[in-house]
Amino acid sequence: MAKTTTRKVARVARTGGGRTKRGQGSWFFPALITTVVVVGTALIVTSRNNRQPDTTAPRIGVHHWHAALGVDICGTFAGNIADNGQDPLGIHTHGDGVVHIHPFSSQAAGRRATLQVYFDTLGIDATTTELKLPNDPERHENGQKCGDKDAKVVTKVWNSRSPSDQGEIFTGDPGDLRLGDNQLITIAFVPDGTEIRRPPSEAQLDNLSDVPGATTTSVPDSTTTSIPDTTTTTPTTAAP
């Protein structure tokens, strides 16, 4: 009996005091503790980062920026998006083809000052695969036609108004684009190889009415500008 008891004690000592199943007891508990520690540390770091103010521009109550935005549908720029009177976060339009950026919420300031805030405010759907404007009854999707050519959504951005700035294609969803002052943005639904032009509203950046010292100027009624009548055809087969 004494030998049997001794063997049981030794077995318990080897397994860390618990029963095992195919040797799991020797590693499961330490692995669980390690996972809890790692997850807990990550949550603490995230919580601290969220509590720290984002000092990246544009900042609340400090910056008042403007970016010109145009939407090219099959080679013709659509009318300016109308002001719908909504401005929950501080990124909006006056119906002048300009994105007005003066955030009054942390959700639209710093690194969160993206084109998606503007889209959400005005009801625009724009991704790398489709484009839908509130003043256009048609949804444009990659693979539909401009004339007899397949078209797709392309976003180009100029980070300055310098004539030497050739601009660059933004490869992500246009909503992920971080907004900048005097930035030029064109979202186009065009065939491959089409030249992406600067937005027509670039000139409006010199004629702003909502900056200190500016005079009130009239802006053409964007609601009277029609979207070009383009015939689009959805492909009958999916792209490989």
- pLDDT for 224 beyond 50: no
- pLDDT for 238 beyond 80: no
Pick the closest to residue 115 from 59, 163, 80, 157 (CA basis): 157
pLDDT digits (tens, 9 = 90+) for 148-178: 999 999 999 999 999 999 999 999 999 999 9
pLDDT digits (tens, 9 = 90+) for 5-62: 455 545 544 555 455 455 555 666 677 677 777 776 666 655 554 444 557 889 999 9
In angstroms, the CA 158 to CA 205 distance is 14
- Whether 98 is covered by a domain: the verdict is yes
- Whether 73 is covered by a domain: the verdict is yes
Q: Which residues contact 171 (CB under 8 A, 6 or more apart)?
A: 128
- Whether 40 is covered by a domain: the verdict is no
- Whether 229 is covered by a domain: the verdict is no
Tokens 């992406």 identify what position? 196
- pLDDT for 222 beyond 60: no
- Whether 96 is covered by a domain: the verdict is yes
Domain of residue 169: give its range: 65-224
In angstroms, the CA 200 to CA 74 distance is 15
- Whether 57 is covered by a domain: the verdict is no
Q: What is the structure's pLDDT at 28?
A: 66
Query: Phi and psi (nearest 5°) for 55?
Result: -90, 5
Answer yes or no: pTM beyond 0.85: no
- Whether 26 is covered by a domain: the verdict is no
In angstroms, the CA 78 to CA 47 distance is 43
Q: What is the structure's pLDDT at 209?
A: 78
What is the domain count for the chain?
A: 1
- Whether 220 is covered by a domain: the verdict is yes
